[in-house]
Amino acid sequence: MPTVDLNQPGKTLLMMGNEAIARGAVEAGVDFAAAYPGTPSSEILEALARVADKLGFYVEWSTNEMVALQAATAAAFSGLRSLVAMKQNGVNVCSDFLMGVNLTGINGALVFMACDDPSGISSNNEEDSRNYARFADLPLLEPATFQEAKEMTRWAFEVSEKLKLPCMLRSVTRLSHSRGNVTLGEITREQRSARFEGTFVSGAFVPAQHALLHAKLEQARELFENSEFNFYEGPEQAKFVIVTSGSGLVYSREAVSGLGLQEEVGILKLGTTWPLPEKFIIDHLRNAAEVLVIEEVDPFLEQNIKVLLAEEVKNLGPIVVHGAKSGHCPAFGEINQEKVTRALATLNGREYKTRDEDYAQRAKQALFAVPPRMPTFCSGCPHRAAMWAIKAALKLDGRNGFVTGDIGCYALGAGPAGYWQIKTLHCMGGGIGLANGFGNLGQFGFDQPVIAVCGDSTFFHAAIPALINARFNNSSLLMAVLDNGGTAMTGFQPHPGSGFDARGRTAPVILIENLCEAIGVPVLVRDPFEVEQSIEDVYDMLQEDGAKVIVFRRRCFRIEAKENLQQKYVVDQAKCIGDDCGCARFCSRVFNCPGIIWDQEAKKAVIDENVCTGCGVCASLCPQGAIVAQGVKS
Amino acid sequence: MNLKKDPLNLIITGVGGQGNVLASQIVATAGIKAGLYVTVGETYGASQRGGPVMSHVRFSQKAQPSPLIPEGQADVVVGLEPAEALRVIADFGNPSTRVIVNPRPVYPIWVLSGQAKYPPVEEIVETLAGLVEKVDVVQASENQAGMGANMILLGALAGSGIVPVSAEYFEEAIREIVPPVDLASNLEAFNKGKRAF
């Protein structure tokens, strides 16, 4: 893994987009960085954390994005260069503060890194954070390549410092999580001391503050008119121009060359997309009759450009704009080279075929033989046992109870991995919040018990106010905190319960059960691998009124297996009696751990050594006691 | 060195946990050492393990390629898992695609739970052979823990010469990227794969 502090200007490395962003911050001399993990943004702070001590800057994993932004803002108020990074959903979380700090402005520099996840590849939704830049009147940059991700991050600190405003950068999954060539620049480090001076009170004469903000935005526009990140490539007097930003640039280039349209179609690439560099755009669309806007998720550029072209219609004459509204660049899902090529081909009367149709049909037919691969909990995952206990207890209870879900690995409980138990899923903290409402519907005849599942990191991030509400308003619910010791889904970043911080230093452990006790809700801590006891506990707690919490505590097996030798488990072929058992192949079919497979010839269960992690929970569940430990895994 | 096609498109596919991402990082680093533009696009689902994982690695002498290979445009597919290799060929294969595949299945949970069937591996290899130019089967999961399959296949890829990047660059990349404790075993696996070709 390339370290982002390699001091060899001019050297070209393979870097992930997020590492390039981190490198840009290092080259700019970042002093303070804060983030909450979320795909596809997490590697930015991870990369920074690895070099923070060596280069002498501050990093933290904050409890949520709001706190991260506020902490980074304090550093900026004090004249430092700071950065905050998050995924799209995090922007929603901190938007309330964002809508105030835009008015007060800042002193040093604050780079606000938003990583969007088009198609929701690792998210429960898809959204376009660029709207927040327009919403909050903040300058917005969109890198198109790995190299630009580095250069733009570096420049964003200067823009922010100059305008005394947070500067927003928007990345997407295919940039943040892809890797490519990055040529290193020089690392600058200035010894800056922090000092707070001045007043930053939003709400003091709001219209005046808002007017000043608009004036700053006009300053940003002037800055952007001459930015090297905006450029035009292609024939001089092109009648057909693709206007694009971010990931759209490489797709557009490949579409133009793939269709052999280099002599006819130009590409107007914008790196600064709010406010728009209007003069620059007008200059380059002077000869255009048609424009195709290529961008990812919302028609953000498209709509802003349509407004500009309407305003300039006297100078430019009518220009037809194709994009989301015309159906050429979909306003949902990821874009890619094929989608852009298809749109360009249609609009230019070209044919586009990826492969021979007969062949394509034959190849697609082969797919029928390939079984689907649904995502599942890892073998050894404590969530499988916890979800099993919840399912069994709800069945025992018999009142048609259900589970409200939350954000984390355990969200897979909405599918086969967690026996389809989770019935709602929205945002961080959404499960316990909903459970609050369900738990107070008794006067309307509602008698279904509700269980809110919530991860440990999610508990600290967003669940505490809702739990307090449940106690305050006497809502009947059971909260099951699935505590696996870290933020597992995004790569096991630490949180306040982990005992260490972003730089690996020892940190105080904040115990979830202590917080619950302080709130005054009954709380029980249980190892989910004590399956029978877990079922009984959940059942018993469901019979009580009011808010209760059970903490299912067992460390994520991926971390456990790295630190400690694991037992090797085998199926005792003499004890397993196959389908004669009547267990319906409990271990493989019902409990459904991917570490246990079925031996077609022997007609018995067998452990898959390649997949089994040696957690042993199946040994306690097999009705024949046929799964036994046999030494230590190599 | 000359690319027979620009960009040259490689897909490494397998199941989460098989070391797909590491393999793609190594081959891409080797490409950069050879003076090429290389882009790696990873696609994986929401799970840490058990989901299909696919890395698109694109090499160019001219410009930074986009991160995703278009339909039917794979020049070579390295399959750490046979069903995943076939899944990739269905979308990205063409009659001149080369395939290097590990024949060891990792069963999806729907197969374990009896809701879906996993075809015999010979059938998968046969179907593949009917769709692409050549299929090379490389046994890569012989040791009990299945570790190192990614390195064995990477060695086979280097040995095949399909990607015109010398094995020395691969080895250099492995030394840079693999943690020191695993280096010896990874290099051994890489060389084993190289010799298999």
Handedness of CA A558, A562, A563, A564 (dihedral sign): positive
Minimum distance, in Å, between the CA of residue B3 and any CA atom of chain A? 17
Tell whether A592 lies on the interface with B, counting CB pairs under 8 A.
Answer: yes
Give the residue on A whose Cα is nearest the Cα of B35.
Answer: A12
Residues in chain B within 8 Å Cβ distance of A366: 86, 89-90, 127, 131
Do the Cβ atoms of A363 and B93 come within 8 Å? yes
pLDDT of B144 reads: 47
Interface of A with B in 566-585 (CB under 8 A): 585
pLDDT of A611 reads: 82
| 3-class SS of residue A245 | strand
Contact B191, B174 (CB under 8 A): no
Give the closest of A354, A366, A489 to B73, CB-based: A354
Give the residue on A whose Cα is nearest the Cα of B41.
Answer: A178
Do the Cβ atoms of B109 and A360 come within 8 Å? no
pTM: 0.96
Is the model's pLDDT at A600 over the cut of 90? no
pLDDT of B95 reads: 97
Give the start-to-end residue ranges of the domains of chain B.
Answer: 8-194
Amino acid at A191: Q
User: Could you say which DSSP state residue B68 is in?
Assistant: S
Lowest mean pLDDT among A128-137, A522-531, B146-155: B146-155
Do the Cβ atoms of B39 and A610 come within 8 Å? no
Task: Convert the pLDDT of each residue in A183-205 to its tens digit.
Answer: 999 998 888 999 999 999 999 89
Show Cβ contacts of residue A619 under 8 Å, excluding neighbours closer than 6 positions: A569, A625, A627, A628, A629
Backbone angles phi, psi at A426, to 5 degrees: -135, -75
User: Could you say which DSSP state residue B70 is in?
Assistant: P
Dist CA A84 CA B153 (whole Å):
40
Task: Convert the pLDDT of each residue in A126-158 to its tens digit.
Answer: 999 999 999 999 999 999 999 999 999 999 999
Q: A63 or B139, which is more confident?
A: A63
pLDDT of B109 reads: 83
Mean pLDDT score, A501-515: 97
Mean pLDDT score, A570-586: 93
CATH number of the domain located at residue range(s) B8-194 in this protein: 3.40.920.10
Tell whether B91 lies on the interface with A, counting CB pairs under 8 A.
Answer: yes
Give the residue on B whose Cα is nearest the Cα of A373.
Answer: B108
Q: A547 or B114, which is more confident?
A: A547
The bridge status of strand A240-245 relative to strand A265-270 is parallel
| 3-class SS of residue A484 | coil
Do the Cβ atoms of A374 and B110 come within 8 Å? yes
pLDDT of B43 reads: 78
Contact A554, A527 (CB under 8 A): yes
Contact A343, A322 (CB under 8 A): yes
Q: How many residues does chain B have?
A: 197
Tell whether B103 lies on the interface with A, counting CB pairs under 8 A.
Answer: no
Tell whether B146 lies on the interface with A, counting CB pairs under 8 A.
Answer: yes
Minimum distance, in Å, between the CA of residue B190 and any CA atom of chain A? 19
Do the Cβ atoms of A338 and B71 come within 8 Å? yes
Mean pLDDT score, B139-148: 68
Q: What domains lie within chain A, and their CATH numbers?
A: 12-191+204-225 (3.40.50.970), 231-347 (3.40.50.920), 382-553 (3.40.50.970), 565-629 (3.30.70.20)
The strand pairing partners of A171, in sequence order, are A115
CA distances, A74 to each of A78, A377, A577, B183 (Å): 6, 40, 66, 44
Tell whether A253 lies on the interface with B, counting CB pairs under 8 A.
Answer: yes
Q: How confident is the model at residue B44 (pLDDT cuts 50, 70, 90)?
A: low
Residues in chain A within 8 Å Cβ distance of B25: 1, 14, 179
Tell whether B45 lies on the interface with A, counting CB pairs under 8 A.
Answer: yes
Give the closest of A179, A250, A558 to B25, CB-based: A179
Angle A337-347/A248-258 helices, nearest 10 degrees? 50
Q: A295 or A611, which is more confident?
A: A295
Mean pLDDT score, A615-629: 93
Is the model's pLDDT at B146 over the cut of 80? no
Residues in chain B within 8 Å Cβ distance of A416: 109-110, 113
Is the model's pLDDT at A1 over the cut of 60? no
User: Could you say which DSSP state residue A506 is in?
Assistant: B
Give the residue on A whose Cα is nearest the Cα of B39.
Answer: A180
User: Could you say which DSSP state residue A378 is in?
Assistant: P
Give the closest of A179, A366, A594 to B112, CB-based: A594
